[in-house]
Amino acid sequence: MTGSGKINIEPLAAPTGARVTGVKIGTGLSEAEYAAIHQAWLDHQVLVFPDQDMTEADQIAFTKHWGDMPIRKRYAGRREESRRSHESIMLISNIRENGEPIGSLPDGDMMFHSDGQYDEHPYRYTMLYALEVPSSGGNTLFANLYKAYETLTPDLKNRLADVEAQHGYYAGRHVTPEILKTLGIERVADNWAHPIFTAHEETGRPVLYVSRLLTQGIRGLLEEEGNDILDQLLDHVERDDLVYEHVWSPGDFVIWDNRCLNHARTDFPGGERRLLRRTTVQGVRPEAAFATAA
């Protein structure tokens, strides 16, 4: 499939995703190229741009085309990432200077989640540029939440059609203090409830909107019953047949739609450097799909 101009969009042999070539983000894009990327995003949810040469300014300019960039205040002044050219930038890295990580989320694997799910207005898009990657591991997994809803049993679709789940900042019910320590996370009080089935803001398609890292429980049900159903949902959205695993190379620029994807990270050797630069686009409060079984 060929988009506008030289852009080539090749769907991946995976449950989600496409590889985009024939364009260099750092050289600036035409409106026709932006339009082709937007349509590919809607069609494939996660886009991989290999072999990019991007400065912070390039990434910021591309990100701002899609909306407002939220400001990160949690680690202001404490880390190298706080001295970026824009307050929205997050450095995801295990590199340390004087014993202090230069960025966030330095070590270990990471459970599936959707960025900002614990907020009233979760992030619409996340964009990640690879500067340094280890020889193995540190891969990013993407779970297709459209297909997670589509493959859910009719009984659960009916039972949960008007039900909300509670989400918290790194506060999923399976998140332990040991996990928080490995990730270098300080727990904060941010939390919000969203419908279990949300409607994608642009496509209108139903999404199964829960994640292992951030979802605390199901509202309106007894705790034991709610936890049992939540665990069923979490296992379902992480099924191998719903997941694409991206193996990073330096220069990869990967952008994804948080409204219909969860993502996770595999473990990697602690003695090898990993450095990626993240930007995000602010979204809106998700609306209920009010889905019912056919």
Q: In the chain, which stretches have pLDDT less than 50?
A: 1-4, 291-294
- Domain that residue 86 falls in: 8-288
Condensed to tens digits (0 to 9), the pLDDT of residues 233-250 reads 999 999 999 999 999 999
Flag whether 183 is in a domain: yes
pLDDT at 101: 86
pLDDT at 152: 98
Distance CA 110, CA 141 (A): 10
For residue 218, the domain's CATH number is 3.60.130.10
Question: Which one, of 113, 111, 92, 89, lies nearest residue 101 by Cα?
Answer: 92
Flag whether 124 is in a domain: yes
Condensed to tens digits (0 to 9), the pLDDT of residues 71-109 reads 876 555 555 666 666 788 999 999 998 888 888 899 999
Flag whether 220 is in a domain: yes
Q: What does the block give as tokens for 163?
A: 């039900």
Helices and strands (H, E) in the chain, number of each type: 6, 19
Flag whether 216 is in a domain: yes
Is the sign of the CA dihedral 50, 54, 56, 57 positive or negative? negative
Flag whether 1 is in a domain: no
Flag whether 221 is in a domain: yes
pLDDT at 6: 85
Maximum C-alpha span of the chain: 59
Flag whether 293 is in a domain: no
pLDDT at 3: 39
The number of folded domains in the chain is 1
User: Left (φ > 0), alpha (ψ -120 to 50) or beta: where does 92 sit?
Assistant: beta
Flag whether 3 is in a domain: no
pLDDT at 294: 44
